[in-house]
Each structure stands twice: as structure tokens, then as C-alpha cells.
Structure 1
């Protein structure tokens, strides 16, 4: 009696792949069922934020339909001598992909990493992971890795119908099993690098950038123990540590502005030496603006000028939009805040496991120096002290984790939509050689903000407070001068 196992397995796998393709085609029309919007759909389906656009979805749908056809043909023993090895290779690739996804899903189900949403957690636990493991095992069997393969699969199309893997030469069997084991081994290694490898923290760092006048201070609140510096007297100016950096990055501007202002620079959660007390903190605009409000309340500052660079420029903007009565002026240096894609190296951090792996792999001192060379135009500024200042605090476990958590959680649609309603005077400064956020974004801010002063600085990169310290200090002093 002819074995009906392979055809049935092939039909089931082909139906699964074709059904997935139809879902992608539906999403390509703009439908986001079962989620309310494309971002929520991406998080629920993939566990990370990727663009659900026709440009992405249509090629994926075509690939899924092609693989469905190949798997079905493999199971039914179709194709000539030349085509059958190709169908076998495609089926083996499907098996590897499904089993890798199942392995990663099993790691997440066991508690590795940060689940971006409860919806994804339960879908991964109850649907994605079991389905991928079962379907992957079926595809591996169909590819002839074990059990009875497709008709004629045993000799890659050269054997008799139903010969199966038992008639295959040992060398071909070894090749198939190696081809399947290799991606699984690589996935296991990547999971170790993402969730088990500990790059190590650098404790005991003492910064030469903290002067006697602006040394480290700490402010304890129920939310966090905030690290900040304070210098000068006069009307208050609060500067938020840039992006994944800490208070030292503003040390030039603190010295300049403190002649006429009381200047505060604060590390928000995930930066520098601030430590969270609240375990349920959310790494999004609600969390970061809420933390800033907690800090201002604890200092007793009802109203202040506010500034930030990169991510922290976006946080300052969001806070000013949500609490306009508390912010008199805004200084935004190459800020986030527009609903645009980040560079690919940052977009990759949004993907579960990938983000953790990239952050852990990039925790070395050499990586910190390479990062400085990407964001600074003036290489002569890169000294050992500067590299250590960027690298050492960034190795702290809480700060490493915050990088990919924030990249996944920050949603700038809100800030861009509110730009025409942002009434504070705003200074927007951008380096024309910015390699992180293109200078064209400065003009968009200028066009959308009702009261904006836009300055583009030639010969300056993204880390403006360091790269063009004197010029940035001068334009800030002029803008913040009491009127």
C-alpha cells in the first residue's frame, strides 16, 4: 500500500503557508485585523515594530505562495529529475525556518527577553511556537531528513517512488541533516548571545567631566533615584541627557549657560546613573514624560525652559506638548519626534532577540569608539576620556536593556501630530553632517512648529553638544536670554 503520509503532510504545510500568504495580502490592502492599527498588529504578530506596508507585505506573500507550491509539489512527487532537488531544498529551508522560529519562541515562552505585549505572549505560547515546531518537524520529514520522505525523495529524485530516506545514500542524508542542524545551531548561539551572555558592567567609573561646581547629585523619589547636576543661578533651564548618553554630554553648555541661569542636567531612566525603583515602568513616551514630571515636581520647578538632544529632544517635545503650562521655551538639538524610520542599525533593535543580541555585541569599548566616530565630524575630539565616558555607564545592565526597550516603545506619531499645536518658542538646531537623523528633518520641524527658530550648523554631526560645543552654546545662550 502506498504511504499517504508525505502527501497529507505536504497538503497541510502548503495550506498553512498559503493561508499565511493570504493574510499578508489582506494586510497589504490596509486591513489590520485583528489589531486596531498597523503598529499594534506588528507587535502582536511579530513581537516587534516593522512596517506593515505593501512594499514589505507583497513580496512576503509571493514568497509564501511560492514555497507553498514547492512543498506541495515535493510531497506529491512532482517535477522532473532537475526540479526535484530544488523542491527538496526549498522544503528543507521551510523546515529550518519553522524550527528556528519554534526554538526562539520556546525561549520566549520560558521567560527569556521582554515580551512587548500580552497579546504576543499568549499567541507565541499557545499558537506560534507549537505550530512552528509541529510544522517544522513535518517539513523536515517531507524533506527526507528522517522518517519517510516524499515520493522519490530518497535519492533526490533519482530513486523509485516511495523509496524514502532509507534508500538514500548516507552522504546525502548527512548533507540534509547538516543543512537542517546548522541554522538551528546558529539560532541557539544567537539566543545565548541575546539572553544568556553577560558582557559585564564597568563599576567604579569616575568622570573627569563632573566639575566641583557641577558634580553628581541624587534625588530620591518613589519612581527612581535620579542622577543630575546643577550649576549657576537665575531662571531655570533643564537639559535632558542625550539619547543613550548621560549628563556629561552637556558639560560645555552647563558652563556657558550657568552664567545667567540655574542649569540642571538629568539622567532619565535608562541613562547614566539614575536607578529605577518602579519595576512596572513603561519604556515609552508615557514613561519618559512621566519620569521627567516626577523629577521637576521633586525639584519644585513649576515652569522651566527645557532642552534635549536626539531621543531626549523628543522626550522634551512630548512633555512640552502634554504640559504646556510648565515649559516656557524648548531647545531641540537634532531631536526625535517625527514619525519617520530610524537608520537600519536602530530599526533592527525593535526585533525581539535581534535587539538584545546587537546591544550585547556592541557593549565593548571599541564599539563605543566606533559609535563616536559615526556621530562626530571632529575626530580630534575623540580622546580616551571621551570614549570611557560613553562606554562605561552604557555597560550597566539597566542602561543596556533600556536601549532596545526604548527603540521598541517610543511612538513618535503623537509628537508629530501635535507639532502645529506646540505654542512655545522652539529652537531647532541640526548638524548638516548628521548621520543618524538627516538634516532635512530640521526643515520639517520648522514648517510644522508655529514658533520655531531653525539653525543648521555646517561641519557638525549628530552629537551636537560635543561636536560643535561652542557654537551650540552660543545659539542656546542667545535663544534663552531673558527677555
Structure 2
């Protein structure tokens, strides 16, 4: 009876912790985001409607453990619990050796607390099971499944496709951090456009054509995007790293003050850089930008979790997956040609770019950018597609309220990939703004 009480006590303790967090407390972490990342390695809400059902679930598990000697249903529950613990313990061992997780609170808690606790509880639950056939199944099957999935997530690497022929506008510049690829055309006051998140610089081609008639336009692939290649493996893929990379690029080309633009993720990077270095950005033009502390679509939020992010990013690097993802960004589906999909797909197979997909989703803390919006002094042009399926158009008005010098334009019949989906309507707005 002693081991039943011990296992039940652990679940009661976990239930109590969830009830405590339901009050809004986040101890021992400083905030909810840090708590979530430390507890589960990703970001989820700890709101009462999330954590209270989990507290009730742990109480039910405690009851099942205590009644496992008298109830067949309780034994089935304990068998399911044992299978789950076997899977989690195996994942814990895999995570302990994932280099990209080393140094985080979750890495050390997983290594020193979570995984040993799962192994100990698993041993107790298996001992409580009476049917030998259950004992033979609850460990091997989950372990085998997790091992196979882990090998795919951490061992598999998509085949990197050959780089395309550089365009006539392609340029390269060496820095200690990376070999930056950028497109450059025109003369005059400089306009720097950041390749849209998970897209190459060529996604700005219509805007490059238009703006280069009156300005010197630079369209740069930041690390993890397009044809830019990092020199090492330690790039952080967080806001400081991305803005630092942008600063290094601007320094190398002696661009001291620019009009800065971005779309999606890169719109948020542009905002963050302008907030950190206001003297170097005269105007901001951002298309459906990140930058608000709001959840992304579920398919992107899943990238924040260990194993899930690696697995989804690598499976998503296939041509068919890229085609489906790109189509979701467009209202005008006829523009999504095989040639366009190739432009998006090829750089998405490079090792650093695959890693960037999940590392950026985990590392970008938009709370910092949102908090600084009221202090962002530059004129900002915000353009948003009313049929955006990635970042809802309602966010445009939130930016308008928080930014002191914002002009907002929403475009009917346009999606998230504004630079291509609605280039004929976007380019006149940009030309007017940068004058």
C-alpha cells in the first residue's frame, strides 16, 4: 500500500501546483512565459480554464492509483499512465542530449527532475499492474514509438537543394557572422527591405522594381532566410540576434540611416531594430508584421515545443508541404506557380534555414517589441490584407493604437504574402510613403 500512497501523493502535489498557478501566480518563474518554457519546454497559457482541468486530471490519476488493486478500470488507467510515463521518460533522455536545448531551464529540469521522476513513477505503476501482458506492453511500445519519432525529428535532415543561379541584382557581403545575400538596385536615399519570414529576398521583387527608380534599394536575407549563410552554429535566433545581424549588415555597407521595411516576422525585426536604434531608421514600412505579444496560428505555435518543432520543420521542407503553405498565404491562388514554389522551397531545405523555422518561433519574445511601441518615434506605414490567414487583420488597429505615428492601410482581397499577392496595390503605397 505504501507505493500506492507515494505515487498518489505525487499526483496530488501536481494537482495542488496547478491550482496554485490558476490563481495567476508563476513562482518559481518570474512570468507565465518563463514558467511555461521551464515546465513543458514550450509556450502555453496557464489560465484557470487550462490548468484547473489538469489539476482535476491529476486528482483522478491519484484515485486510480489508490484503487488499482480493486478496480479493473483503475488498472486500465494506471496502464495508460505507465505508457505515458514510458514515452515521457524516453523523450526526456532524448532531450537531454539535444544540443540546441542545452543551458535552458527546461534542459536542466528535464535532466535532473522531470525524467528521473517519470522513471520512478513508471517503476511504481508497472509494479501495481497485475496482468503480465500489460506489463510487457506498457514500456516497449511507447519507448519504440518515441525512439522512432525522435530519430526522425533529431536525426533526419532534409536534402539541401542546390542554390539557384544568382539574379542580376544579387550581391554578397562578408561579415564575421555570415555571408549575407542581398539584392541591390537603384541610386539615391537607401531603402532596406528584409526578406519576409521564411521567404527569400526575391519575395520583394515587385517592390524592388518600383522603388529602385527613385531610391537605392537593398533587399537582404537575414540569418535563417534565403541565401544568407551563417559561419557558425551558435546563432541564437532571437530578437537580439536578428537585430544584431541587421546592424552588422548595415555597418558593412556603410548605411547609416535608412527607410526600413519588412513583412511578417521581418516586419517585427524591423520594428525591434528601429526601437533599439532610432537614429538609424528614418521611416518604417511594415506589412502584416509580427511584433504583438499574441499567439501565432496553431501550426506555428506547435513549433515552440521540443521534438514537435524539429519534426514539423523538417517534414515541412518538402516541395508539396511548401506548396500548401504558400497557397495559404495568397488570396490570388493563380500566382502560386511551380516556379514561385521552387523559389520558396529551395532555401527552405538548407540546414540553418530549417533550424530557423522552430528556433525563431521559440526565441522571438514579442512582448519586448510591444512594450516599446508607444516609444517608437518614426513614421510607420502599416499595410495588412483583410483576408490574412496567418496574422489577423484586427492586429493592424492594435498597432495603430500603440504606435504614435502610424498610418494603416488594409487591403480587401489580399492575404499574408502582400509583397506578391497584391503587389500592384502595395507598391504605390510604398512609393508614396518613401518620398
Residue 377 (1) aligns with residue 331 (2): yes
Distance apart, 1:113 and its partner CA: 5.3
* CA-CA distance at 1:278 after TM superposition: 4.4
Greater CA drift, 9-18 or 322-331: 9-18
| Residue of structure 1 equivalent to 2:73 | 86
Partner of 2:341: 387
CA contact (8 A) 2:192 2:217 kept: yes
Whether the aligned pair in 2 keeps the contact of 1:99 and 1:137 (CA below 8 Å) is no
Greater shift, 128-137 or 327-336, is seen at: 128-137
Residue number among 190, 196, 203 corresponding to 1:242 in the alignment: 196
Q: Does 2:146 align with 1:205?
A: no
Post-superposition shift, 1:116? 6.4
Q: Which residue of 2 aligns with 1:341?
A: 295
Aligned pairs for 1:152-167 within 5 A = 154=131, 165=132
1:301 counterpart = 2:295: no
Max Rg structure: 1
Moved more, 365-374 or 133-142: 133-142
2:58 match:
64
- Pick from 148, 172, 186: which aligns with 2:145? 186
The question of whether the paired residues in 1 share the 8 Å contact of 2:208 and 2:217 is answered with yes
Does the 8 Å CA contact 1:24/1:57 hold for their aligned counterparts?
yes
Deviation at 1:176, TM superposition (A): 5.8
Whether the 8 Å contact between 2:126 and 2:135 is mirrored in structure 1 is: no
Q: Deviations over 1:341-376 (max 9, x none)?
A: 000000000000011111111111000110111111
Matched, 1:127 2:123: no
Partner of 2:92: 105
Instruction: Say whether residues 1:35 and 2:29 are aligned partners.
Output: yes
* Superposition deviation, residue 117 in structure 1: 4.2
CA deviations 1:305-362 (Å, max 9, x no partner) are 0000000000000111111111000001000001100000000000000111111111
Normalising by structure 2, report the TM-score.
Answer: 0.97
**Structure 2 counterpart of 1:262, from 216, 223, 248:** 216
2:24 is paired with a residue of what secondary structure? Answer: coil
Question: Partners in 1 of 2:62 and 2:277 — Cα distance?
Answer: 53
CA distance in 2, matches of 1:34, 1:412: 22
> What are the superposed Cα offsets for residues 433-458 of structure 1, whole Å, 9 maximum, x if unpaired?
10000000111111111111100111
- CA distance in 1 between partners of 2:127 and 2:227 (Å): 53
Question: Which structure's relative contact order is higher, taking Cα pairs within 8 Å and 6+ residues apart?
Answer: 2
Check the 8 A contact 2:285/2:382 in 1, yes or no.
Answer: yes
Q: Deviations over 1:41-73 (max 9, x none)?
A: 122221222222222211111111111111111
The answer to whether the Cα contact below 8 Å between 2:173 and 2:179 also exists between their aligned partners in 1 is: yes
Q: Hey, what's the Cα distance between the residues in 2 that align with 1:286 and 1:116?
A: 19
Q: Secondary structure at the match of 1:428?
A: strand
CA gap of 1:447–1:118, structure 2 versus 1, over 3 A, is closer
1:287 corresponds to which of 224, 241, 252: 241
Structure 2 gaps of 5+ residues are none
Shift in Å, 1:85: 2.1
For 2:204 and 2:117, locate their aligned partners in 1 and report how far apart those are by CA, in whole Å.
51
Aligned residue number for residue 96 of structure 1: 83
What is the TM-score with the length of structure 1 in the denominator? Answer: 0.87
1:203 to partner: Cα distance: 1.6
CA distance in 2, matches of 1:89, 1:455: 58
Question: Distance between the aligned counterparts of 1:361 and 1:272, measured in 2?
Answer: 18
CA distance in 1, matches of 2:381, 2:103: 36
Cα displacement string for residues 249-273 of structure 1 (whole angstroms, at most 9, x for unaligned residues): 0011000000000000111111111
2:316 alignment counterpart: 362
Contact 1:222-1:278 within 8 A present in 2 as well: no
For 2:397 and 2:163, locate their aligned partners in 1 and report how far apart those are by CA, in whole Å: 43
Q: Which structure 1 residue ranges, 5 or more long, are not aligned?
A: 1-6, 79-83, 145-153, 155-164, 166-172
The C-alpha deviation readout for 1:172-211, integer Å capped at 9, x for no partner, is: x2x663455433332222111111122211124336xx3x
Matched position secondary structure for 2:250? helix
How far residue 277 of structure 1 moved from its aligned partner, in angstroms, is 2.3
- Of the three residues 83, 95, 100, the one matched with 1:114 is 100
Aligned counterpart, 1:24: 18
In the aligned structure 1, how far is the partner of 2:35 from the partner of 2:181? 37
Whether contact under 8 Å (1:47, 1:115) holds in the other structure is no
Q: What SS does structure 2 have at the residue aligned with 1:114? A: helix
- How many matched pairs? 435
Q: Is the Cα contact below 8 Å between 2:163 and 2:346 reproduced in 1? A: no
SS at match of 1:265: strand
Distance in structure 2 (CA, Å) of the matches to 1:250 and 1:102? 46
